[in-house]
Structure 1
Amino acid sequence: MYMKELLITAPAGDGKKGRAKAVIRNYAAPDFEELIRIQAESFPPPYPEELLWNKEQLGSHVHHYPEGAICIEVDGELAGSMTSLRMQWDPSHPASHTWAEVTDDGYIRNHQPDGNTLYIVDLCVRPKYRKWGLAQLMMQSMYHLVIAQGMDRLLGAGRMPGYHRVAEQMSAQQYLDQVAAGERHDPVISFLLRCGRMPVGVAADYLDDEESCNHAALMEWRNPFR
């Protein structure tokens, strides 16, 4: 089981001073209720409530791929989580897919233990901790998992919550290209770019998401040792 402890500094203006202890570890059954609460805080309406985790899904994550189910605590309080699965992916034929298809409706029973790609199922951080850099820390842990298990890449589809504002003016691909070029800012895609993820295309009808007009940006991080 994975566990990493580190000291982090509270962001300016947060009200907390000094350093806090952060722990990144695999989540387990005793964490499920709090993880569901965190999801509700992290993805308020209009995000579909039925897409938030339930205990059966979380239990399936732990059963099928416990190494890819991590959470982060700050001074003992659960502050976020990240979930993944392994899959076989051919970058020369990046077939379009939906979130429900690639994640087995969030149950990851389609996890392939010998898959060449770590696919990110979900990432969320409690709103009050969103300036603490916790998502970047969890992403780094997933990069370490890619390297440790000899996979080729980390892959995932990021929401494009800023796209709805310009959807009548440009395609989702044009929007992604402008964000990647630094001409526009998107709260999710710009964050993924800062984490070292690179866009490989747009998935249409990926998720029921009004802000993204149901689109998502498929983005990868390649294992530098492969």
Structure 2
Amino acid sequence: MYHSTFYLYKEQKPAVCIVRNYTEKDFDELVTIQSECFPPPFPSELWWNKEQLSNHITLFPEGALCVEIDGELAGSLTSLCINYDPLNSQHTWEEITDNGYIKNHTDHGNALYIVDISVRPKFRTFGLGKIMMESMYHLVIEKKLSRLLGGGRMPGYKQYDGKETPQSYLQKVLAGELKDPVISFLLKCGRTPVCILDNYLEDEDSLNYAVLMEWKNPFKQEFNK
């Protein structure tokens, strides 16, 4: 199980930061965090329910992380292991995550897939999302997986509907001409785009599009050839 304690600065004062696996006692707070991170028009039925959270800590507890700042739960990240075929990348969030229940998790998978990452708005200047993501990179290396994957929402895309295709929007984000709250964050975390995912998730702000983003394990031989 994962547990890391260190200090971050909060209003120019050191604050204790703990990254650990979440447990049943965190469930109520995790659901509250989802409601803060994904307010309407994001559908509330896509927030975590306790059956999903129970599956996370039962089926793949190593992939269920949360972060605390001075004892307050500030965010979470959930993942599962899958068998990924680079020649068949298209999928929906519901398909790849078993609608968030992760009953399709396989201990013998070749890739780690990020189901969700959420950080409370008031803690978003601390870099907690990146800290949790880096913890998952460690897990990829430890389990000798080929890569980390996840579908990144494109919440900035809605305002460019009719002006840009999803592909051209992504290219402008990559060129630094536009910034997207999620895709730009993932780029800063070391993730790189693979392809546009159509009808990935019911998400009005992203017009249901996402970008499949990956981080390749630098210690896997096939990537060093």
Aligned to 1:60: 55
- Note the 1:1-226 alignment, pairs <5 A: 1-10=1-10, 16-91=11-86, 93-226=87-220
Q: The residue matched to 1:37 in structure 2 has which SS?
A: helix
Could you tell me the TM-score, scaled by structure 2's length? Answer: 0.96
Q: List gaps (5 residues or longer) in structure 1.
A: 11-15
Amino acid across the alignment from 2:5: E
Q: The residue matched to 1:205 in structure 2 has which SS?
A: coil
C-alpha distance in 1, partners of 2:214/2:12?
Answer: 35
Per-residue Cα deviation, 1:8-43 (whole angstroms, up to 9, x for no partner)? 112xxxxx3411000000001000001001111111
Supply the RMSD in Å over aligned alpha carbons: 0.8
Amino acid across the alignment from 2:115: V
**1:95, CA displacement in angstroms?**
3.2
Amino acid across the alignment from 2:23: A
Q: The residue matched to 1:138 in structure 2 has which SS?
A: helix
C-alpha distance in 2, partners of 1:113/1:26?
Answer: 18
Aligned to 1:13: none
**1:200, CA displacement in angstroms?**
0.4
**1:191, CA displacement in angstroms?**
0.5
Q: List gaps (5 residues or longer) in structure 2.
A: 221-225
Q: The residue matched to 1:108 in structure 2 has which SS?
A: coil
**1:182, CA displacement in angstroms?**
1.3
Q: The residue matched to 1:187 in structure 2 has which SS?
A: coil
Q: The residue matched to 1:4 in structure 2 has which SS?
A: strand
Sequence identity (%): 56
Per-residue Cα deviation, 1:89-130 (whole angstroms, up to 9, x for no partner)? 121x13311100100010000001111110000000011101
Question: Number of paired residues?
Answer: 220
Q: The residue matched to 1:33 in structure 2 has which SS?
A: helix
C-alpha distance in 2, partners of 1:95/1:24?
Answer: 31
C-alpha distance in 1, partners of 2:160/2:88?
Answer: 26
| Runs of 4+, deviation exceeding 2 Å | none
Per-residue Cα deviation, 1:151-183 (whole angstroms, up to 9, x for no partner)? 010000011011111120121111111111212
Could you tell me the TM-score, scaled by structure 1's length? Answer: 0.96
